[in-house]
Amino acid sequence: MKKHITVAIDGNAASGKGTLAKKLAEYFNYAYLDTGKLYRASAFLIKEKNVDYEDVQEVINIIKEYNFYDFNFKDNLLKSDEIGKLASLISGYKELRQILLTYQRKFAYKHHHDKFGVILDGRDIGTVVLPDANIKFFVTASLEARTERRWKELISLGQSTIKRHVEKDIRDRDKRDSNRKNSPLIASQDAILIDTTKLEANAVFLLAQKHIEEYLLT
Ligand code: DC
């Protein structure tokens, strides 16, 4: 029988963690949750309801009442830089993180029919959400490489944007995500570090695949 495993992937904005997670989930037949989408969906709801993001209590009231199982996570609007920035701004709120933590753990521990494991990607998966994950990856890349990727992605989504603005947004987001008090972006001590600056997506996948296969043989 195949081992059922949990894989945690963390990394900064546009590091390639999402692409890696998707490829691994498909190859190994694991259930996958992009946890950034929960934060982006929260940002989307706040914007839709015209709530001031600095009004912490009102933000929490809205998120607490919402059933995220009803949300259309495929909505391309979630991918905009505006929503990404707002998600980053509210992601420092402890109570919000607590609500979303419940969703993430439920997903990780529930039975997924026909799946051999689960993969979650985000900022604090290996440190807070799934500290006991069987395999942890921490994905990084240079600011320049990440700007280039994010810029191309936004263009392909039809969102006109200036590279300089994309770079500033990523730099600001790195700073906020890494320096916040609650669950900052840091590599778990037992995480495998992958620098994707000079690697194609497939090379990154092959590297991570090897680590998982080695684990499965133990
Ligand atoms: O991965 P992403 O760009 O979709 O995430 C958007 C924001 O959500 C990110 O800047 C910080 C927040 N986030 C978080 O704080 N913790 C996570 N596990 C995932 C995302």
Average pLDDT over residues 133-137: 98
- Token readout for 40 is 């982006």
* pTM above threshold 0.75: yes
Task: Answer whether 185's CB lies under 8 Å from 178's CB.
Answer: yes
194-205 per-residue burial string, b: 16 or more CB within 10 A, e: under 16? bebeebeeeebb
Q: 99 or 82: which carries more pLDDT confidence?
A: 99
| Residue 75 scores a pLDDT above 80 | no
CATH number of the domain located at residue range(s) 5-211 in this protein? 3.40.50.300
- Residue 218 tokens read as 């133990």
pLDDT of 1 above 60: no
Q: Could you say which DSSP state residue 124 is in?
A: S
Spell out the residues 6+ positions from residue 19 whose beta carbon is closer than 8 angstroms to its own: 201, 204
pLDDT score of 130: 97
Q: How far is the CA of 81 from the centre of ligand 1 (A)?
A: 12
Q: How far apart are CA 110 and CA 120, in angstroms?
A: 13
- Residues in CB range of 104: below 8 A, 6 or more apart: 33, 35, 38, 120, 122, 125, 129
pLDDT tens by residue, 177-199 = 999 999 999 999 999 999 999 99
For residue 91, count CB atoms less than 10 angstroms from its CB and return exposed for 0-12, middle for 13-18, buried for 19 or more: buried
Residues with CB under 6 A from ligand 1: 13, 35-36, 39-40, 84, 87-88, 91, 122-124, 173, 177
Q: Which atom of ligand 1 is nearest to the CA of 17?
A: 1
Enter the tokens of residue 80.
């905009």
**Predicted pLDDT of residue 35:** 96
pLDDT at 155 over 70: yes
CA 13 to centroid of ligand 1, rounded, Å: 8
The protein residue with its alpha carbon nearest to ligand 1, atom 11, reads 88
The mean of the pLDDT values for the chain is 94
Mean pLDDT of 49-59: 96
Atom of ligand 1 at shortest distance to CA of 129? 18
Look at the chain and count its residues: 218
**Three-state secondary-structure class, residue 81:** helix
- Residue 9's beta-bridge partner residues? 121, 137
Contact 146, 18 (CB under 8 A): no
Over range 35-61, report the average pLDDT. 96
